[in-house]
Structure 1
Amino acid sequence: MCRDVFKFIYFMFIVCGFHYKAWQITDAKKLRSHLLEGYVKDIFPIKNETDSLNIDINFILFSIDSFNEVERRIIITVALQIIWKDPSLSWDPDLYGGKDKLSISSDQIWRPLIYLLYTPGEIKSVGEDIEYVILILHDGTVVYSPGGVMNTKCETDVSKFPFDIQNCVLYFTTWGIEQNVLSLSSQFNSAGTEYYIDNPDWKLINTETYANDGGRYRVTITIKRNSFYYVIMIILPMMLFCILNPLVLLLPTESG
């Protein structure tokens, strides 16, 4: 009975003209040529002057490499997933063997330059030194995921050492784009930590992300110091000495 049903469904697909067509490498080459032919990556990706571009940013935290409370700096390894729509990069998948997405090098198309503020040395946009692979969907959605090791300023408070909790705020901004044609958003209120690796000295407590229409993106990372080492090596010996010192007065003088 079931076999007859499957045969009937297959027959209806054939009669109605529904069949699966896998794209080939020639379709991918044709699609790439179609998208990049006449494409100018220096032009802001909006259809007309009245439109605005929305950029969605997701912050992914991989590790906290180091935290220096004296220099007030934190070094972390992160990635930014940046998503936007480029009207010049849309196509009909039926014209290209059903291919609905394409991966190309990041230097081939327009991409937003996002900078991390308060970094030592030369200021560079995120992912500027490396060519990443960009994923383009058939509706013009572009997914760009640069990342790397980031060094930024972090205000510290060690008044409760070694039980202190630090809040480090990272400020990202876009430069060279008028604020009235750009808005930033974030799908999530916290950072992605699926691939996070624990730091032996600091425990990750919480993360918060916030984006606004002014081209600013803020990430707050809350960490707590792992105090077990300091308790064993500093606090307990000091308490022990505080207890032993008064006992010296109980010893008779002739004991030496």
Structure 2
Amino acid sequence: SKAENDRRLRSFLLLEKKYDTGVRPMSGPNETTQVRFSLGLLDVPILNPKKHLFYADAYTCMTWTDPRLKWDAEKFGGLSMVRLRASEIWVPKVVVMSFVDLSSRSDSVALATPGGGVSYCPVHPIHAACKTDMTHFPFDRHECIVEFTNFIDTESNVNLTVGNEPAAPEGRSEF
């Protein structure tokens, strides 16, 4: 059954291969782990001009290759994807630099494919500081910069690159 194949695959990837979440994925010694990063908004952001704060529910999608998560799909009933808890595998430790609040839900799930491709898109409430100027209201413009960085690894170990930008909600390109 699919459930049994899924259980066997999870056991194979995490237990039989002795997966270590503290070791970043790499194909060879001194290889940099390439992580593509994109940000998408889940709803219309809120700006509090008096407090100079920006609020939004967003998701950060990160994709990378982890050779330790490769499998032969035929040996596992043709499974082409497996869900793994973020706590079970290595995931980039990305934080927001203009930090006010960036907390992710603990139930975040990553998707892995037979070739070792991993996709991880946790949802975050983002609260960031902004420069606000109401001088030209209602035609005012505000600058809210949210910078992300890898918290644990150096750039020579993990390289974050901006991937394709997710579509703005409901075609609203101003977000």
**Are 1:154 and 2:130 counterparts?**
yes
Structure 1 Cα separation of the partners of residues 127 and 43 of structure 2: 12
Q: 3-state DSSP class of the match of 1:170?
A: coil
CA apart distance, 1:108: 0.8
What is the aligned counterpart of 1:168 among 117, 121, 144? 144
Query: What is the TM-score normalised by the length of structure 2?
Result: 0.88
Residue 127 of structure 2 aligns with an amino acid whose one-letter code is N
Moved over 6 A (4+): none
**What percentage of residue pairs aligned between the two structures are identical?**
21
Q: Give ranges in structure 1 of 5+ residues lacking alignment.
A: 1-22, 199-203, 207-220, 222-256
Tell which has more relative contact order, 1 or 2 (C-alpha 8 A, sep 6+): 2
Tell me which structure has the larger Cα radius of gyration.
1
- Spell out, residue by residue over 1:23-58, the C-alpha distance to the aligned partner (whole angstroms, 9 max, x if none): 633222211111001111011111332311111112
CA apart distance, 1:134: 1.3
Q: Which residue of 1 aligns with 2:13?
A: 35
- Spell out, residue by residue over 1:121-160, the C-alpha distance to the aligned partner (whole angstroms, 9 max, x if none): xx65x52x42212111000011111012210011122221
After superposition, residues 1-256 of structure 1 pair within 5 angstroms as 24-37=2-15, 38-120=18-100, 126-127=103-104, 129-188=105-164, 190-193=165-168, 196=169, 205-206=173-174, 221=175
CA apart distance, 1:93: 0.8
CA apart distance, 1:171: 0.8
Aligned residues: CA RMSD = 2.1
Contact in 2 for aligned 1:100/1:138 (Cα 8 Å)? yes
CA apart distance, 1:89: 0.4
Structure 2 Cα separation of the partners of residues 159 and 183 of structure 1: 40
Q: Which residue of 2 aligns with 1:4?
A: none
Structure 2 Cα separation of the partners of residues 81 and 32 of structure 1: 22
Structure 1 Cα separation of the partners of residues 124 and 10 of structure 2: 28
Contact in 2 for aligned 1:63/1:197 (Cα 8 Å)? no
More helix by share: 1
Contact in 2 for aligned 1:90/1:140 (Cα 8 Å)? yes
